[in-house]
Structure 1
Amino acid sequence: MIGKKMLKNKVLALSSPGGHWVQLCRLIPAFKASDVVYACTYNKASELSDDDGYYVIGDISRDSIHRFFSVTAGIVKILKKEKPTVIITTGALPGLITIFLGRLFGIKTIWLDSIANSEKISMSGVIASYLAHNCFTQWESLAGERIKFIGRVI
């Protein structure tokens, strides 16, 4: 493009630990053309290089909802500092909070429901289907009007 700067997407890739993180890491090759920063509820994982930007976020679940404000404040700090153009999350509640905040900040959002949810979409996934710009399931039988199936990451 002559006279215009090509803008590179800045991606915030965020998840809860365990299987959510494993699934997010399976997407790393898809991010190679973007500037990516990662966030999870535990210390930097071995899947990432020393050069990868990484944030530890507060953990929260239905059983620890009292942490809502502190977790939300931490995510807002990341969004303000990093200014991502896209948020992608594999869940769970920290990802849902980030999707909501991303919408408030005008950021494109993607929710990928966990492959572990093979019989029904997770509660967070159902809520995300109303909030996220794009919402995906990894099970074809669970796809619908707001939640699409385009394949599995595992």
Structure 2
Amino acid sequence: MKVCLVGSSGGHLTHLYMLKPFWQNKDRFWVTFDKEDARSKLKGEKMYGCHYPTNRNLKNLIRNTFLAIKVLRKERPDVIISSGAAVAVSFFYIGKLMGAKTVYIEVFDRYDKPTITGKLVYPITDKFIVEWEEMKKVYPKAINLGSIF
């Protein structure tokens, strides 16, 4: 199984990194901001730098969509996993068109309201995971796995 882990640097990347027991023995690659925190956390990992800022930035949404086409065509992951933020949108939609499964994990600090990214990927995500039971009111098809932290 080949895994693509997509997320902004900082907290989103840390969230994905905490899934290490799942991804550590799998063929994998990362898509995140090419920033010092990401480079140090992912030292030795295959990483593609995406364009940022992403939130409400149409230019970088378009640039990341072309990046998604290029990277996903090359890597052909079986599953794409993200906990946000906006860079996930391009990779999820292009990935679905290419036959990849998608797993989205809504961020821990949202317990009663959706994120913009969550709202955008919810309709096409194969597994949508929340960490609070209250979030199932927001995302009825979600699976509550409790806290990753």
- TM-score, length-scaled by structure 1: 0.86
Instruction: List runs of 5+ in structure 2 lacking aligned partners.
Output: none
**Correspondence 1:23-102 to 2 at 5 A:** 23-43=15-35, 44-50=38-44, 52-59=45-52, 60-62=54-56, 64-102=57-95
In the alignment, the residues of structure 2 paired with residue 19 and residue 116 of structure 1 have an alpha-carbon distance, to the nearest angstrom, of: 11
The size of the alignment, in residue pairs, is 144
The corresponding residue for 2:103 is: 110
Task: Report the residue type matching 1:129 in the other structure.
Answer: Y
Deviation at 1:26, TM superposition (A): 0.5
Deviation at 1:118, TM superposition (A): 2.2
Post-superposition CA distance 1:85-116 (Å, at most 9, x none): 11001111111221111111110111111112
Instruction: List runs of 5+ in structure 1 lacking aligned partners.
Output: 1-8
Task: Report the residue type matching 2:22 in the other structure.
Answer: A
Q: Which runs of 4+ in 1 moved over 2 A?
A: 42-49
Task: Report the residue type matching 2:10 in the other structure.
Answer: G
State the structure with more CA Rg.
1
Deviation at 1:66, TM superposition (A): 2.3
- TM-score, length-scaled by structure 2: 0.89
The corresponding residue for 1:17 is: 9
Q: Contact 1:90/1:114 (CA < 8 Å) preserved in 2?
A: yes
CA-atom RMSD, angstroms?
1.4
Deviation at 1:21, TM superposition (A): 0.9
